[in-house]
Amino acid sequence: MLKNILLVDDSPRDTEMAVHALESCNLANEVTTLRDGSEALDYLYRRGEFALRPPAHPAVILLDLKMPRVDGLEVLRQIKEDPDLRSIPVVIMTSSREEQDIIRCYNLGGNAYVVKPVNFQEFVEAVRRVGAFWGVLNDPPPFMLQRTLLST
């Protein structure tokens, strides 16, 4: 069973373009879209409206930084501090080129930092490449190996 790709972005336009880009490269992974960090944490911890979702973690999280309620940095911090979630790859996809944001993301354990191109075609191509790598090419550690590595 293929794991889903979790896309967390408060911009409906960017979300629509990212989903289109992922679909255009014929990924078999389902794409789950959420509007902010609060929804992302509820999804990951299976709370509220996501309490009954299957327990599998996403193959990758594509995470915007600047969002209402809970921002991407806080979501990233909570994911990487949680032994059950920290092995999920998190790719920051944001419009911020600020050096301090890049440094914070990597210091918190982010796996990649991608600045969203302004040009539509460049944006689509960036999302396609990210989705193809993390959704198809990347080979995460098996579940039991993850548990063993985390407990040592």
pLDDT tens, N- to C-terminus, the chain (152 residues): 567 889 999 999 889 888 887 777 776 778 899 999 999 999 999 999 999 998 889 988 999 999 989 999 999 999 999 999 999 999 998 888 899 999 999 999 999 898 876 666 776 677 767 666 655 555 665 653 344 344 34
Domains in the chain: boundaries: 5-151
CATH architecture, domain defined by 5-151: 3-Layer(aba) Sandwich (3.40)
Please give the structure tokens belonging to residue 29.
């992974």
Cβ–Cβ < 8 Å for 60, 40: no
Predicted pLDDT of residue 131: 66
Predicted pLDDT of residue 24: 76
Please give the structure tokens belonging to residue 36.
């902010």
